[in-house]
Amino acid sequence: MASNAAPMTVPPAAPPSGMPIADTTAAQNEAVHSIGKETVNADDIERNAGSLNAEEKNESDASSEFKQDGVARAEAITKVWTTKTLWATFGLLYLVSTVDSMLGNVEGALSPYVTSAFGRHGLISTTSIVSTILGGVITLTIAKMINIWGRMEGLAGMVFLITIGMIMKALCQNVETYAAAQVMYWVGHIGLLLIINVTVADMTTLRNRMIIFGFNTSPLIISFFTGPLIADRFLKEVNFRWAFGAFAIIMIATTTPIIGVFIYNERKARSVGLVREKSGRTFFESVKYYVVELDVVGLFLITVGASLLLLPFSLVNYVPGGWANGGLISMFVLGPALLAVFYIWEKKYAPVQFFPWVYLTNKTILGACSCYGLMFASIFCWDTYYYSYLQVAHSLSVVDASYTINSLSLSSAILGVFIGILIRYTGKVKWVAMAGVPFMILGTALLVRFRTPETSIAVLVVLQVLVGLASCVFALCSQMAVMATVKHNEVAPGLALHGLFGAVGAAIGQAIAGGIWNNLLPFKLMQYLPEDAKADAWTIFGDITVQQAATGAVRDAIDAAYGDMQHMMVIAGCCFAPFVIVAVWFWDDLDVRKVDEERGRVGNVF
């Protein structure tokens, strides 16, 4: 099927050299027989080499358009590895996903205590906004990088960023260092998820892809039970610093094997001429090339512009003069101005556009990305401070609060595989997505009624499950809608654009939550606290451990203030829910079974 989205207009990294991709079957068979010491059976050779002929029959494969080095190398690898290697790679990617998911749970549970250690509990949203925006925006750059350099290089780079972020968190002595560490960690985390998804896309047909995508969410089930316990043990028996240090080591240990698999199989592909030689550029020529290719100017403008626009809502109570502060006013002026400059730069002056504007002319891609972004905006309006709310207003422990929050992720993880199977056998993405509408309506409507300190934990868990079911359906189906619309060499930027919308939506939700929390909670505390405790309002506001230790009338006042905040946040989140449903309605009625038939099959894939 011809995609409505045009191919990426990126100049090739190097002229093709070596054996052509569409070489003869006989030459392929002879070459593959000579690879190293590993024996590849004749059926595998015929199947993998035969896929080269399939490429010649359809316009969306390598024979009809130039593919960047990273894409070509990924396809070359799938043509030389065995079925056992294919499934071993799935298993190793699953291991990486499990550790990353566990780290996310531990990091989320410890975050309020890290900011409280510096007397800045309310800055949770501020650190999240910067990291979320940069993490979302830079996925487009990461997508370009892995298409140019390769999946393995991208994976190693993201692990490096996560490791540096964890080390910085373990050693931080102020909230500024912690914020910088959060940015490093989050960029690496989001990039790692993107690369895993793109790699899975390389290894699967469109029809079966959501089964693996869904199965790859099941590590959330493992981290649901283990993550909170790990965080609690570190918090009680050591400290948060050792937790971050330990995961820096664990992440390196679990990603090394998968990187080794890619290196080994790329060498096999190179030995039979399926991998192009390096460009031969000098160091300075390469620097100039990548500055243009990755549109560093555009990346800077959109990241700084979006951050300046959204940050003031969370910073207002931490600067002299509040909203009258000159710095905040400057941020409000400069943010939109830089975003306007970004648009002009991209449309008229950028040699290589950072933002794939052409995708937004396709209603399915625009609808799928909008659905994902609006869903995150809705959830993050109330989720940003929900962990603190549960520990204070409901007096839950670190473990129990984490279990309550993560019941959303747990329900998503359990449902994911079934969504993949349903798409495989029906082929219908849009109507599977519409099945999430009742859960979305029911879950968000009940949030307003039951988000009070008096509500039982069982009810809160049920609401998390309902929202989790809806978010699972929308997240997986919107990803599939994008991948079914773009070509294989456009999967990475397509998923990156999808992730960017999600990041912007999450940042908007966090900005709304931060604005409500930081602007209203101190005054609600002043309103509810007894007269002899009003002088301590700002101390209470800044430290979750002080809030947890309070008793009597002071504790009742804190609980009441927290309840008011959550109620406002839930109402704000519910306002986005109807637009999620509207966005899904605009998708084309795609049948992924037909798309697979028209595109053919490349390499030894599932």
Enter the tokens of residue 76: 């070359």
**Beta bridge partner(s), residue 428:** 591
pLDDT: which is higher, 567 or 600: 567
558 within a domain of the structure (yes/no): yes
Q: How many structural domains compose the chain?
A: 1
In Å, what is the CA distance from 94 to each residue of 51, 220, 396, 439? Answer: 27, 11, 31, 28
Amino acid 23: pLDDT: 35
Using the predicted structure, report yes or no on whether residue 565 has a pLDDT greater than 90.
Answer: yes
CB 402 within 8 A of CB 227: yes
Amino acid 45: pLDDT: 36
522 within a domain of the structure (yes/no): yes
pTM score over 0.85: no
Q: Quick one: angle between helices 83-117 and 398-426, nearest 10? A: 150
245 within a domain of the structure (yes/no): yes
For residue 428, give the 3-state DSSP assignment.
Answer: strand
Output the domain CATH number for residue 288: 1.20.1250.20
pLDDT: which is higher, 282 or 422: 422
305 within a domain of the structure (yes/no): no
Amino acid 292: pLDDT: 82
The predicted-structure confidence for 360-396, as pLDDT tens digits, reads as follows 889 999 999 999 999 999 999 999 999 899 999 999 9
Phi/psi for 291 (5° steps) reads -60, -40
Looking at residues 480-507, what average pLDDT do you find?
Answer: 88
Domain containing 132: what range?
A: 83-295+351-599
DSSP 345: I
- Residue 161 amino acid letter: L
Q: How big is the chain, counted in residues?
A: 606
576 within a domain of the structure (yes/no): yes
- Residue 31 amino acid letter: A
For 568, residues 6+ apart whose C-beta sits below 8 A from its C-beta are 516, 520
Looking at residues 417-429, what average pLDDT do you find?
Answer: 90
Using the predicted structure, report yes or no on whether residue 192 has a pLDDT greater than 90.
Answer: yes
Amino acid 208: pLDDT: 86
523 within a domain of the structure (yes/no): yes
The predicted-structure confidence for 38-90, as pLDDT tens digits, reads as follows 444 444 434 443 343 333 344 344 333 456 777 778 778 878 888 888 899 99
Please write down the HEC assignment for all residues of 537-591.
HHHHHHCHHHHHHCCHHHHHHHHHHHHHHHHHHHHHHHCCHHHHHHHHHCCCCCE
Looking at residues 311-336, what average pLDDT do you find?
Answer: 80
Amino acid 575: pLDDT: 92
567 within a domain of the structure (yes/no): yes
Looking at residues 198-225, what average pLDDT do you find?
Answer: 86
Amino acid 56: pLDDT: 37
Using the predicted structure, report yes or no on whether residue 265 has a pLDDT greater than 50.
Answer: yes
Looking at residues 238-259, what average pLDDT do you find?
Answer: 93
CB 170 within 8 A of CB 241: yes
Amino acid 283: pLDDT: 77
Query: What mean pLDDT, rounded, does the chain reach?
Result: 82
Q: What is the dihedral of CA 458, 459, 464, 465, to 10 degrees?
A: 80
Amino acid 39: pLDDT: 41
Please write down the HEC assignment for all residues of 228-264.
HHHHHHHHHHCCHHHHHHHHHHHHHHHHHHHHHHHHH
- Residue 513 and residue 131: Cα distance in Å, rounded? 16
Read off the pLDDT band of 210 (50, 70, 90).
Answer: confident
2 within a domain of the structure (yes/no): no
How many beta carbons lie within 10 A of that of residue 322, not counting itself? Answer: 12
Amino acid 597: pLDDT: 67
Amino acid 5: pLDDT: 34
Q: Which of 186, 205, 198, 106 lies closest to 155 in space, CA to CA?
A: 198
